[in-house]
Amino acid sequence: MSSRVAVIGVGITDFGELWDESFRSLITKAGTEAINDSGLEGEMIDAMYIGSMSPGLFSSQEHVSSLVADHAGLKGIPATRVEAACSSGALALRESYLSIKSGEMDYVVAGGVEKMTDIPSNSAAVTLMGAGDQEWEAFKGATFPGLYALMAQRHMYKYGTTLKQISQVSVKSHDNAALNPKAQFRFRVSLEQVMNSTPIAEPLRLLHCSPITDGAAAVVLASEEKARELTDNPVWISASSCSTDTIALHDRDSISQMDAAVRAGNEAYRKAGVKPSDIDFAEVHDCFAIAEIMAIEALGFCKLGGGGRLTEDDETSLSGRIPINTSGGLKGKGHPVGATGIAQVVEAVSQLRGEAGKRQVDDARLGLTHNVGGSGGTCVVHILSNE
């Protein structure tokens, strides 16, 4: 059994409306970049796990595990597609981690990809709602903006969270995305622009919502022995955890807290032997601005109900106590759903290597990633360290 698992290579495409790119070209570019970054030759890769939520509906392509292995020049290796809605990428990483941790593999590629813009936006919304409960939510007309709007309304009622605080999440995310050359929205927005943007589902406005995005990301993992042979600056996966909840929002004990995130976060802290106060930065799942507020509460960066105040007090900015979504998050960087969990890890590795440029967190040693499927039916948390 391998004692530790390291990330030794990362790759990521531009995120956005990439009309000249295909599903296969995106993941091939990200995977090739990650393998080149690792210093490995392709024939050394033992296996591959690919996160993708719905390539059949977005791109009319199934059997993507074989497709990706073929076009990445890795034909012959075992390749597995992993699906857990918007947390597909993080779960692919977790499966890759476990395959090395078991001692079965030495080098594994974990990738994530989604090509979402080849179908009309209304069709994309229907496809995305496949991550919810079809019988009790989608059939009744629920959408994810509507579900997260319910969460926001309850959070505002229960804790006094304000529209201004929710909007400040988007302002901060765009500030960070403006510094990220891979981000979909590389521009800043004002608080007034966010609060006055088009209403989508009360209280959520357009600028509270993550976009439809094309993109891919990949990482190469290695056992501790192999990693030390290849690099002097590995980034270690200190913990990997996953938890689930009811898929339907109405079946939960509370809609103002994601219990799966609480459980996954607590398990990750236990495995890594750290506390929330030890984390230097985090990439969290902000598909809607209220989701970031709920995430930082669930992960213990503030008390329950305190996420709005923590954001308003500028504690989650690049210079704050706990920088959140230095990449720009799903809101600013973009959200190609199958790729998001891997992209979060690419950002974490960049920070821990000291390679994040103008968005670099000072003295970053310990980072956390938090990836959610649907409205919280799945949550995957990873803790990474450069020590």
Active site residue 174: no
Question: CA 367 to CA 385: how far, in whole Å?
Answer: 6
For 96, the token pair is: 């890759």
Instruction: Show the CA angle centred on residue 31, arms to residues 67 and 52, nearest 5°.
Output: 55
- For 157, other C-beta atoms within 10 Å of its C-beta total 10
**Selected catalytic residue, list 86, 209, 287, 302:** 86
Active site residue 335: yes
How distant, in Å, are the alpha carbons of 122, 124, 200, 297, 306 from that of 158?
A: 33, 32, 22, 14, 11
For the chain, helix, strand, coil in percent to 5 are 40, 20, 40
Helices (H), the chain: 23-38, 55-59, 64-71, 88-101, 121-128, 144-159, 163-177, 191-195, 224-230, 259-272, 289-298, 307-312, 329-332, 340-353
Kindly state the helix (H) or strand (E) to which residue 282 belongs, with its residue range.
strand 281-283
CA-closest candidate to residue 49, choices 372, 349, 342: 342
The single-letter code of the amino acid at 315 is E
How distant, in Å, are the alpha carbons of 45, 63, 284 from that of 287?
A: 33, 27, 9
**Selected catalytic residue, list 174, 208, 335, 370:** 335
For 129, the token pair is: 């709602």
Burial class (CB in 10 A: 0-12, 13-18, 19+), 240: buried
CA-closest candidate to residue 88, choices 60, 58, 117, 118: 58
Give the HSE-up count for residue 126: Cα atoms under 13 Å, Cβ half-sphere: 8
Spatial contact of 305 and 161, defined as CB atoms under 8 Å apart: yes
Please list the active-site residues. 86, 335
